[in-house]
Amino acid sequence: MGFPLFDLSGLRALVTGSSQGIGYALAEGLAAHGAAVIINGRSAEKVESAVETLRQGGHTAHAAVFDVTDKASVATGVGAIEADIGPIDILVNNAGMQFRTPLEDFPADKWELLLSTNISSVFYVGQAVARHMIARGHGKIINIASVQSEMARPGIAPYTATKGAVRNLTRGMCADWAKHGLQINAIAPGYFKTPLNQALVDSAEFSGWLEKRTPAGRWGNVEELVGSAVFLAGKASSFVNGHTLYVDGGITTCL
């Protein structure tokens, strides 16, 4: 590897919600830079398929099927990884979901689901992994926030609330854990072509609005998030802590 600051060889990276979309792209990117990646999700079939695809590409990949919204499941899952695969050096808290409807009509059950998926999972997995990292005196945690950590749009207020919480939980993790040798940062993607956003991608009206609003004039491609993840996962970011890195084509410059 010609760039040691971005060399992840010998490190293990757990990426939650990584059987598809942004999570898979980040896992594949970390693997391409030398990390052994651990694919997580609730569907064993999807997780195993993603692992097999990565292995066929020459990467080292493992499966970890557990529910990141369930504290007991997280404790068991993280413990099994540490015991059977090895120490988790890098954690990417990527699992998340979206639900769109006017706030006055937003169902209470969807509110609770967004809270558990988008923010409780970051706390549960982050805490479980950090306990091991603290004991070792080093570790990297990357939380996936959003441009909605900084801005808002109609119909997604609860999602905006959860992503704002991810940004501030990242700061809180830094405040508590930096003294133990951990670096905790967040990546805030803008609008990317993913299964989560497919309805918006297919909408000529929304895509037209986005292209006009974003200085780069287009949707992002998930592969464009990899460089940020590799930077935050490696030695290059050894003194970067509590930071949220916006990868958004410039849309947050136009608030």
* Catalytic site positions: 159
36-41 sheet: strands from edge to edge: 61-65, 36-41, 12-15, 90-93, 139-144, 182-189, 244-247
Q: Report which of 234, 246, 244, 247 is spatially closest to residue 32, judged by C-alpha positions.
A: 234
CA distances from 151 to 75, 94, 154, 180, 187 (A): 33, 20, 11, 32, 15
Q: Report which of 40, 29, 32, 37 is spatially closest to residue 11, judged by C-alpha positions.
A: 37
Amino acid at 52: E
Six-digit token string for 58:
């020459």
Rounded-to-integer distance, Cα 149 and Cα 133, Å: 27
Residue positions counted in the chain:
255
DSSP string, 49-71: HHHHHHHHTT--EEEEE--TT-H
Residue located via tokens 């097999």: 52
